Amino acid sequence: MPSYTGLDFYEIDELLSEEERMIRDTVRSFVSDEVIPIIEKHNRAATFPVNLIPKMGELGLLGANIHGYGCAGLSHTSYGLIMQELERGDSGLRSFVSVQGALCMYPILTFGSEQQKEAWLPRMARGEAIGCFGLTEPDHGSDPGGMETRARRDGKGFVLNGNKSWITNGSIADVAVVWAKDDAGTVRGFLVEKGTPGFTTRDITGKFALKASVTSELAFQDCRIPEQNLLPGTTGLKSALMCLTQARYGIAWGAVGAAQAVFDEACGYAKARTQFNRPIGSFQLVQQKLAWMATEITKAQLLALRLGRMKDAGSARPHQVSMAKMNNVWMALECARLGRDVLGANGTHDEYQVGRHMCNLEAVKTYEGTHDIHVLVVGEALTGLAAYA
């Protein structure tokens, strides 16, 4: 049983199976023992803790909800609990696992040939091969349909030209799932392997969010892709969006973990820190902040769990995933801001976690569909009227 137990104000543990609690506790211990002690150092140095990748593979965390091909074959709810625990450590770590599983292994599984699945999935599950997902371009973020990257048919293969930006794991990836328009203007997915002539990467430096995560630009200049590297099942932008729905599901859970981390730190600090000869936790205004955080975390836990159960039953819809991503990341970011406030000046220093989570969550609010784009997805589901353009 891990020493950290997390906030469970509504006895949500009772709604989990014994197996789900065991998986959650295993990842919780891994994060307490191997992530928390090193993460600030990596965040300060802006490096990703690559040494954790083999261990995450051993624990079955990579592509954990994929069945077969050496993957753990867990339920979507168990997968969500894994994301929650990883993001308690750091959003960068959860991003790595999200991209590997939901944005690279999932498209290979769903749209790939048998040969592609055999070639990549077992190695990726073990952490021996790393993946990334290239959709965003310098001039096309929220509207990926406007992408300029082109895959021109040339004999038996394709020639790729274009640029992708803000790509998690970009420079450390062995394989990139790259989205490009073919000669007919249809968006297709391609597997671009590291070292392919004409494919280069450059890391984005100077981030104040997700510092312990690799973010890169990908460039393709007359990059020749063999026919067998086309993901044959991709049939348009909706294929890429299906991957994003998988990843957003994980984010909805992960945000709960980040919020739990900041609540835990803020509550502990409020009980220990004295001002005016009293613990600051005895002041009504501080209690109001803690009560708000605990209430919102509890609501977000229930939302994530219900979504997980629906996903396991095969009934979760993309707009429901959008609501959970939108709400839970907003909630976590507000908790992080309040937690930072409760810690006073110390909340601005990386000796404490609140500031790191707060900065990370600003990026999480933007990526995988911005908060406002998810508002519009929910609005469209409610009214039947699209308000994007």
Contact residues: ligand FAD, CB under 6 A? 99, 133-136, 141-142, 166-168, 210, 215, 363, 366-368, 370, 372-373, 376, 388-389
What is the 3 state secondary structure string of 192-209?
Answer: EECCCCCEEEEECCCCCC
Nearer to ligand FAD, 144 or 233 (CB): 144
Catalytic residue among 18, 128, 368, 380: 368
Residue 134 identity (one-letter amino acid): G
Q: Whole-number minimum distance, CB 167 to ligand FAD, in Å?
A: 5
Given the complex with ligand FAD, which of 210 and 321 has the nearer CB atom? Answer: 210
Can you tell me the distance from the alpha carbon of 316 to that of 260, in angstroms, rounded to the nearest whole number?
Answer: 25
Closest residue to ligand FAD, based on beta-carbon distance = 141
- How much is the CA Rg of the chain, to the nearest whole Å? 21
> Smallest distance, Å, CB 132 to ligand FAD?
6
Spatial distance between the Cα atoms of 296 and 64, rounded to a whole number of angstroms? 28
Least Å distance between CB 333 and ligand FAD? 14
> Is residue 87 among the annotated active site residues?
no
Collapsed DSSP state (helix, strand, coil) of residue 28: helix
Q: Is 250 helix (H, G, I), strand (E, B) or coil?
A: helix
To the nearest whole angstrom, how small is the minimum distance from the Cβ of residue 373 to ligand FAD? Answer: 5
Q: What is the smallest separation between the CB atom of 135 and ligand FAD, expressed in angstroms?
A: 3
Q: How far is CA 380 from CA 319, 336, 370, 386, 388, in A?
A: 9, 30, 15, 5, 9
Nearer to ligand FAD, 46 or 230 (CB): 46
Task: Tell me whether strands 131-134 and 175-181 are parallel, antiparallel or unpaired.
Answer: parallel
The CA distance from 196 to 198, in Å, is 6
Return the number of other C-beta atoms located less than 10 Å from residue 28's C-beta: 25
Task: Please list the active-site residues.
Answer: 368
